[in-house]
Amino acid sequence: MAAASMIRSVFKKELFSGKVAIVTGGATGLGRAITEELSSLGCKVVIASRRLENLEKAAQEINEAIPISLRPRVFPYQCNIRNEEQVKSLMKYTIDTHGALDYLVNNGGGQFASPAISAKGWLAVVETNLTGTFYCCKHAYNEWMAGHGGAIVNIIADMYKGFPNMAHTGAARAGVQNLMMSLALEWADCGIRINCVSPGIIYSETAAKNYGGRHVFDEGLHIIPAKRLGIPEEVSGAVCFLLSPAASYITGTTIKVDGGQSFYRSPFTIPEHNSFPPPLEDPELNSKL
């Protein structure tokens, strides 16, 4: 990861000066890049996830790269987004300590690859990605945004052609996208904008480790029109845009940051088979096809 002083952002230096954000999963991968860019643009960022040690280390590293007079800008807070009480405490801490909650980035989450998953695995993934996002939106709204407005960005995934081998996360992310559209309408009268960013295959050490190494990500290259993997900073730019005044008329939408992957080929191959039922009108048709 780049030091904050080296962060290359297309946005003006003090774009988010005086603003306060929460980024879940902000210590690693995409969340870290988002935290680095937001903080480099003047935002105070509370980073929240389960592993406090990771959070503290990331906050220290990012803060060290910020001029001393402007430190600290990044604050660690331990929170499992599957636990509603912990999410409520995260919102209260942020508002009590920093006086506002302008932005929420629901980035924390993940899944594992598995064709036939256990009910426990299904629940773990749905609770993390869908219910966790719901808790964060709900308590950001209740504790601050209902009365002051704000902007929310949810990180989802490329599930537009289904998500075979990761059906749990496909269902959860589609749920987040639909939740986002409902909330965009329900909360418009409070001045809250809510959108999604949908990454394709984005390489980071932590993400790749979760799947057994970089080679697993590289196996996806043939389904990406851009013919390369994405990097976390390419997702961060889209998030910063959606949070910024440049997106003041944008709500209820999804920006895909995927090199064209979502409307190209599926990575999933259907085995050769003859198992489909014949057409109703002509039971003989299958043999003619």
Ligand X SMILES: CCCCCCCCCCC/C=C/C(=O)SCCNC(=O)CCNC(=O)[C@H](O)C(C)(C)COP(=O)(O)OP(=O)(O)OC[C@H]1O[C@@H](n2cnc3c(N)ncnc32)[C@H](O)[C@@H]1OP(=O)(O)O
Ligand Y SMILES: NC(=O)C1=CN([C@@H]2O[C@H](COP(=O)(O)OP(=O)(O)OC[C@H]3O[C@@H](n4cnc5c(N)ncnc54)[C@H](OP(=O)(O)O)[C@@H]3O)[C@@H](O)[C@H]2O)C=CC1
Residues contributing to the site for ligand Y (CB under 6 A):
24-25, 27-31, 49-51, 54, 79-82, 107-110, 128, 132, 155, 157, 199, 201-202, 204, 206-207, 210
Binders of ligand X among residues 109 to 138 (CB under 6 A) are 110-112, 114, 118, 120-121, 124-125, 128
- From residue 42 to residue 61, the character string flagging contacts with ligand X as x (rule: CB under 6 A) and all else as - is --------------------
Measured distance CA(65)–CA(156) in Å, rounded? 30
207 binds ligand X (CB under 6 A): yes
Measured distance CA(87)–CA(97) in Å, rounded? 15
Q: Which H helix or E strand runs over 45?
A: strand 44-49
State the angle between helix axes of 167-186 and 119-126 in degrees (0 to 180), rounded to the nearest 10: 30
51 touches, from ligand X, ligand Y, none (C-beta below 5 to 8 Å by class): ligand Y
Q: Which H helix or E strand runs over 23?
A: strand 20-24
Residue 215 Cβ vs ligand Y, minimum distance, rounded to whole Å: 14
Residue 202 Cβ vs ligand X, minimum distance, rounded to whole Å: 7
> Pick from 181, 119, 114, 122: which is nearest to 152 by CA?
181
Range in contact with ligand X (rule: CB under 6 A) among 10-18, 141-149, 214-222, 272-280: 214-222
Beta-bridge partner residues of 22 = 46, 104
Q: How many CB atoms lie within 10 A of CB 69?
A: 5
Show the tokens assigned to 172. 């959860």
Residue 181 Cβ vs ligand Y, minimum distance, rounded to whole Å: 19
> Pick from 108, 201, 198: which is nearest to 160 by CA?
198
Show the tokens assigned to 52. 């406090």
**Which backbone phi and psi does 44 adopt, to 5 degrees?**
-80, 135
The correct pick among 181, 216, 226, 250 for binding ligand X (CB under 6 A) is: 216
Radius of gyration of the chain (CA): 20
- From residue 254 to residue 283, the character string flagging contacts with ligand X as x (rule: CB under 6 A) and all else as - is -------------x----------------
**Nearer Cβ to ligand X, position 30 or 242?**
30
138 touches, from ligand X, ligand Y, none (C-beta below 5 to 8 Å by class): none
Point out the residue whose Cβ comes nearest to ligand Y: 29
Show the tokens assigned to 105. 């980035």
Residue 262 Cβ vs ligand X, minimum distance, rounded to whole Å: 12
Range in contact with ligand X (rule: CB under 6 A) among 4-12, 141-149, 211-219, 273-281: 211-219
Residue 90 Cβ vs ligand X, minimum distance, rounded to whole Å: 17
Measured distance CA(222)–CA(150) in Å, rounded? 39
> Please, what is the Cα angle at 141 between 40 and 190, to 5 degrees?
95
Binders of ligand X among residues 138 to 167 (CB under 6 A) are 157
Footprint on this chain of ligand X (rule: CB under 6 A) = 110-112, 114, 118, 120-121, 124-125, 128, 157, 201, 207, 210-211, 216-217, 219-220, 267
